[in-house]
Amino acid sequence: MLLAGSDAGRNGGASLPWTAGAAVPTVVFVARIRGREGAPVTLAHFTAIFMGYADAAMPRKVEASRRLQKRAEQMIPGGVNSPVRAFHSVGGDPPFIVRGQGSHLWDADENKYIDYVGSWGPLILGHAAPGVPEAVSAAAKKGTSFGASTPAEADLAEIVISAFPHVEKVRFVSSGTEATMSAIRLARAYTKRKYIMKFEGCYHGHADALLVKAGSGVATLGIPGSAGVPEEFTSLTLALPFNDTDALEQAFKKFEHQIACVIVEPVVGNMGCVPPAPLYLDALREITLRGGALLIFDEVMTGFRLAFGGAQERYGILPDLTTFGKIIGGGLPVGAYGGPREIMNMVAPLGPVYQAGTLSGNPLAMAAGLATLRYLRSHKSTIYADLDKLSSELTEGVMAAARNAGVPICCNRVGSMFTWFFTPGPVTDWTSAAKCDTEAFGRFFRAMLDNSIYLPPSQFEAAFLSAAHTERDVEQTIAAARQAFATVGCGIGL
Ligand SMILES: Cc1ncc(COP(=O)(O)O)c(C=O)c1O
């Protein structure tokens, strides 16, 4: 637990009547077993109980979630409002979530999970973090939306600008997709050039021009792009391998004076976590400057996650434009893009680049973002180092479990973003990520879920640790992984 605040409160009142290592009262676990009648209890579950992880030990019930999924499927494509949530690449029943508190989630069947999805990144402080629901509810009581400016918008802008030195002005939108789409429009207008460059396996939202060799759900579903996007719409998008400086040099030669911008996830999260090779971001900066193209860091995932000033602070590189999302909304829908005054002043109403939004700068979203960023700012001297340490214990513990079980996987981690790849690796780009045994990952994923560990339901998504996770969560997760590797033969070739 890295967060200040009441531990009991953050466990949401869930019963954790003993601490790790303390003797487990027999009467308690007998009662728990009776409480989940009908589900098979295996030797592994008893082992977990005796290790002090009673909540992890019980088989998962799925009846209510299954019923809710069937109902949703009648009305919503796949029953979901974002594709990866349907679990199609990993199999099994997606849990319908009814509550989150700290590092934990509860589903409609009353299963409790340790959550490493964190709403796909926004929840760096955990679920219902102290101060965030209160700020949202206080804002809601004053009215939910005005379609006019509110003081909180400049408050949030001030924090973003203070954290990202090249950002002098910022525009808020409602999603990461809008942020990247708008930043690209701005880059094209500013440079008066047409081509844009992205990298295979990077995902920048679902705007037409960016659905080329995209990561995230596109990679998870194994599709090259998207139906409904005419070739003409992507003919100005160049997709290059990530971490390949030569390919970059060659493309800049071939398309000399034509490339408006290069957009990159400085640490990729959307083919799983893939860090930049040493000096790769420096090369990107140098080549774009030389070629007269803008460099856009898509920090929708990494902003305020890898450091308060995002990946650009961590790696010491200043891009021309930065896109934000996820954490800046504290779990509510917010995106943003920002950069130097000279470029941002081209956005309407000051300039000719049109971009607008009915709910942009929404007061509830601003309140959640402010509560989150203020907390991060006042704890930044410790919170990122603590996240790094606990994430390292977790990833190394799981890797040790894999090695002991003879399962040849590899792991990439930067700060509190990480992925266990089901390939011996190393994973440095989309070609190497695509070598993963996704069937084996699916078996591992399902075994972990059955052991109360909620990982991203795709091999090609990063997992996240939050400031609400505890040493006990990590120990429980490593124990679950040990059991998953040993009991489901989820290793490659096993
Ligand atoms: C790096 C990156 N950019 C953009 C997006 C799109 O954001 P949103 O889903 O809010 O539209 C995502 C979403 O995961 C992302 O990870």
Q: What is the pLDDT of residues 371-402, one digit of tens each?
A: 999 999 999 999 999 999 999 999 999 999 99
Beta-carbon-side half-sphere exposure of residue 452 (alpha carbons within 13 Å):
27
User: CA-to-CA distance for 146 and 430, rounded, in angstroms?
Assistant: 43
Is the domain of 348 the same as that of 404?
no
State residue 346's pLDDT score. 98
Is the domain of 139 the same as that of 246?
yes
State residue 214's pLDDT score. 79
Asked if the structure places residue 493 within a domain, the reply is no
**Cα of 352 from ligand 1 centre, angstroms:** 26
Please list the ranges in the chain whose pLDDT falls under 50: 4-57
- Which of 321, 344, 376 is the last residue before a domain boundary? 376
Active-site position among 93, 107, 115, 298 = 298
Substitution site in 180, 242, 264, 268 for ligand 1 pocket (most atoms within 8 Å of beta carbon): 180
What DSSP state is assigned to residue 427? -
User: CA-to-CA distance for 407 and 492, rounded, in angstroms?
Assistant: 6
**Cα of 180 from ligand 1 centre, angstroms:** 8
State residue 489's pLDDT score. 75
Q: Which atom of ligand 1 is nearest to the CA of 180?
A: 4
Is the domain of 393 the same as that of 260?
no
Asked if the structure places residue 186 within a domain, the reply is yes
State residue 220's pLDDT score. 65
Q: Domain tally for the chain? A: 3
Tokens at 268, concatenated: 């990729």
Instruction: Calculate the alpha carbon distances from 265 to 122, 281, 300 in Å.
Output: 16, 10, 8
State residue 155's pLDDT score. 98
Asked if the structure places residue 83 within a domain, the reply is yes
User: CA-to-CA distance for 21 and 32, rounded, in angstroms?
Assistant: 19
**Cα of 300 from ligand 1 centre, angstroms:** 6
- Which of 321, 350, 376 is the last residue before a domain boundary? 376
Is the domain of 53 the same as that of 86?
no
State residue 55's pLDDT score. 43
Asked if the structure places residue 494 within a domain, the reply is no
**Cα of 337 from ligand 1 centre, angstroms:** 13
> Residue 270 in 3-state DSSP?
strand
Residue type at 363 in one-letter notation? P
State residue 211's pLDDT score. 87
State residue 7's pLDDT score. 34
Q: Whose CA is nearest to atom 4 of ligand 1?
A: 204
Closest of 200, 239, 221 to residue 429, by C-alpha: 200
What is the domain-level CATH number for residue 173?
A: 3.40.640.10
State residue 337's pLDDT score. 98
**Cα of 57 from ligand 1 centre, angstroms:** 34
Q: Establish whether 190 is a catalytic residue.
A: no
Is the domain of 36 the same as that of 102?
no
Q: Which atom of ligand 1 is nearest to the CA of 202?
A: 1
Asked if the structure places residue 302 within a domain, the reply is yes
Is the domain of 290 the same as that of 314?
yes
Is the domain of 261 the same as that of 369?
yes
Is the domain of 350 the same as that of 400?
no
Is the domain of 137 the same as that of 251?
yes
Q: Exposed, middle or buried: residue 394 (CB in 10 Å: 0-12, 13-18, 19+)?
A: buried
Ligand 1 pocket by Cβ (under 6 Å): 120, 175-177, 180, 203-205, 216, 265, 269-270, 298, 300-301, 325, 335
State residue 108's pLDDT score. 98
- Which of 21, 38, 59 is the last residue before a domain boundary? 59
State residue 218's pLDDT score. 67
Is the domain of 205 the same as that of 350?
yes
Q: Establish whether 203 is a catalytic residue.
A: yes
Structural domain span for residue 89: 63-129+379-487
User: CA-to-CA distance for 267 and 277, rounded, in angstroms?
Assistant: 10
User: CA-to-CA distance for 252 and 249, rounded, in angstroms?
Assistant: 5
**Cα of 325 from ligand 1 centre, angstroms:** 7
**Cα of 177 from ligand 1 centre, angstroms:** 6
Active-site position among 61, 112, 198, 326 = 326
What is the domain-level CATH number for residue 456?
A: 3.90.1150.10
Is the domain of 182 the same as that of 237?
yes
User: CA-to-CA distance for 270 and 48, rounded, in angstroms?
Assistant: 33
Q: Establish whether 298 is a catalytic residue.
A: yes
Asked if the structure places residue 492 within a domain, the reply is no
User: CA-to-CA distance for 24 and 18, rounded, in angstroms?
Assistant: 7
Is the domain of 174 the same as that of 292?
yes
**Cα of 63 from ligand 1 centre, angstroms:** 32
Q: Which atom of ligand 1 is nearest to the CA of 178?
A: 11
Q: Which atom of ligand 1 is nearest to the CA of 333?
A: 10
